[in-house]
Amino acid sequence: MPSMRFYAVGLNHECTSLERTERFALSPEAQETLYANLSLSADAEVVVLSTCNRTEAYLYGTEADLRQVKALLGHGAGTRWPEGTAFQERDEDAVRHLLQVTSGLRSVVLGERQIFAQVKAAYERAVDAGGVHSVMHRLFHTAFRAAKRVSSETGLVQGAASVSTAAVEMARQVLSDSDGCGLEDTAVVLVGAGKMGRLALEALADESLRSLTVLNRSPERAQDVAASFGGETHPWGRRHEAVAAADLALVATGASEPVIHDSALPSPGETTLLVDVAMPRNVDPAVADCSGYRLYDLDDLEAWTARVREQRADAVPKAESICEDLLEDFVTWVFHQQALKPAIQAIRDTFDTIREQEVDRHAHRTDMDREEVDRLTESIMQKLLAVPIVRLKNVDPESIDFVQGIELLHALFAPSDEENAGRSLPDAPEADTPDLGDAPSRCPYLTHAPGTSGDETEEVEEALRLSAAHQATPHSEEGRDQ
């Protein structure tokens, strides 16, 4: 069976330009289409994230699954997947990437808060599409825990912590450099009344603006946002005139193509600063060549936020340490839960095979009641296995050598045949902690059992109770699986 591994792959502001990243941006509808077209292996799971700065996929699957995901991401952009430009991480590095993305450590604005909600929305969309099962459920909830701890235990999210609020801060600095007044007594236009637009207006709430105008394709939504922030609205069809009349235009719609065009802009009375925080870009880049207009986009914003990174640099080591702690917790869970299940089943199957062979060997006896013997021997087997299996479930994963344990279990419990003949145990690896790259998707591990805890005692008693129930109901599948 092909090996199941963790992968993180995609395009973002760290590895390529805004222009290339925006080509691969996926709307919620496009993401749903991608999920519908996926035909992954039986146990594979995937979540796709597309924000203003990144389009990424997080996969638990095979290399064939990975190739399919990349092909569909490329298909959505109408081109081949750019292997030479895109990033790709595997195993711990892939898990670490997701934890750091969710915590704001890899955002354009270091410590950005909005990314947490975006990752959560992507996860929920994947759940609705059937792309998430037990492994990804655990992984993403681990990422959410990391983000919450980083927020509460470090100073990473202090100050401007979203693209929208950073755009306002950048505009304030640019205008201050121009006239020394910053945003005071400025006419501001917001094109787009979604979440990013609202965040921008929240950042402007304490400013003494001359005027605030909100434009949106939906006049009802524009009116609702304008009323919340003490502004007015203009018809969508007059957006170019509204931009020309403003000192600052913040553009953040959900459109998949530009909504502000150079050919439609009249000459402004004074210089107008446009800040485009949308992905894909909502302002035609040709606007930058128009007299009287200054255009900034996410690439410019990234350069400006370098200073923010410096201010928050002291919080980064602690935030990264939190992510590493939770990464280790997740890796331990993968080994302990996912790898152990087939080991336990292999032990049961091996013992049951021996039991059935012995029963068959004595079946010729005329006084033998086959059903009674089956019940008796199955009950004995369940009781013999109850204690070691419960102890195996309760081992301390940090006390094990995973690769050595896998081979040991196979050597001890796998059926003896020619394929396994002469199999030897490898030397233990140097690493003291488990590594996802060493973890086969269907293999077990074994270590010494710690002292029996109270919880373990209860589990042993429960296992014995179930074995007794199995004896009473010999055909019960539940009794066989406990």
**Which positions are annotated as active-site residues?**
52
Can you tell me the distance from the alpha carbon of 426 to that of 345, in angstroms, rounded to the nearest whole number?
A: 23
Can you tell me the distance from the alpha carbon of 404 to that of 102, in angstroms, rounded to the nearest whole number?
A: 34
Structure tokens at 454: 């109270």
Can you tell me the distance from the alpha carbon of 297 to that of 280, in angstroms, rounded to the nearest whole number?
A: 10
291 by DSSP, 3-state: which?
Answer: coil
Question: In whole angstroms, what separates CA 63 from the centre of its chain?
Answer: 18
Question: In whole angstroms, what separates CA 480 from the centre of its chain?
Answer: 36
Residues with Cβ within 8 Å of 103's Cβ and at least 6 positions away in sequence, in order, are: 116, 143, 146, 147, 150, 151, 156, 319, 322, 323
In order of 150, 284, 426, the CA distances from 116 in angstroms are 11, 29, 43
Can you tell me the distance from the alpha carbon of 444 to that of 439, in angstroms, rounded to the nearest whole number?
A: 9
Place of tokens 């909504």: 259
First to last CA, the chain: 26
Structure tokens at 250: 């913040």
53 by DSSP, 3-state: which?
Answer: coil
> How would DSSP label each residue in 361-376?
HTTT-TT--HHHHHHH
- What per-residue string of b and e applies to 35-60 under the rule 16 or more CB within 10 Å gives b? beebebeebbbbbbbbbbbbbbbbbb
In this structure, the strands spanning 54-61 and 45-50 are antiparallel
Residues with Cβ within 8 Å of 224's Cβ and at least 6 positions away in sequence, in order, are: 193
Can you tell me the distance from the alpha carbon of 62 to that of 41, in angstroms, rounded to the nearest whole number?
A: 8
Are the C-beta atoms of residues 459 and 393 closer than 8 Å to each other?
A: yes
- What per-residue string of b and e applies to 208-233 under the rule 16 or more CB within 10 Å gives b? ebeebbbbbeeeebbbebbeebebeb
In order of 226, 314, 366, the CA distances from 200 in angstroms are 13, 26, 87
In this structure, the strands spanning 272-276 and 293-296 are parallel
Are the C-beta atoms of residues 104 and 47 closer than 8 Å to each other?
A: no
